[in-house]
Amino acid sequence: MKKSKPFPVPVRLGYSCRKCPAYCCTYEEIPVKARDIARLARHFGIEPAQAEARFTRLDEKGEARVLRHRKDEVFKTACMFLDRESRQCTVYESRPAICGDFPGGTRCGYYDFLKFERKHQEDPEFIALT
């Protein structure tokens, strides 16, 4: 007998990136692999070597490529691909795998912290700085 496909179980996420100032995009060193660089290169229609030079730098140890940062109005710096006003990723469909994997579960510690602070301050727009 043909096995019927199980219905996908909807997952309720305990966080909303749309309401967050993007804490996770402010990590100083967001590592990228060759395939992430190749995807970004395709996104911009350039060669991987150009993408590597434009969008990445070496980490502090000089061993791995990480995303470049630029000045940010909310935090000190943030990933160069973060829209500083909307707080959304400008390369969402082509973002590095590590970005898509974060936070790795149904909850985000940053978002819990943000929600707690907003409730405490009685201000739904409050941006808690880490």
Residue ranges that bind ligand SF4, judged by CB under 6 A: 15, 17, 20, 22-25, 30, 67, 79, 81-82, 89, 91, 95-96, 99, 102-103, 108, 110-111
Helices (H), the chain: 34-44, 48-55, 97-101, 109-121
CB of 117 to ligand SF4, least distance (A): 13
Nearer to ligand SF4, 6 or 45 (CB): 45
CB of 55 to ligand SF4, least distance (A): 9
Dist. CA 20–CA 127, nearest whole Å = 8
Query: Bridge partners of 67?
Result: 56
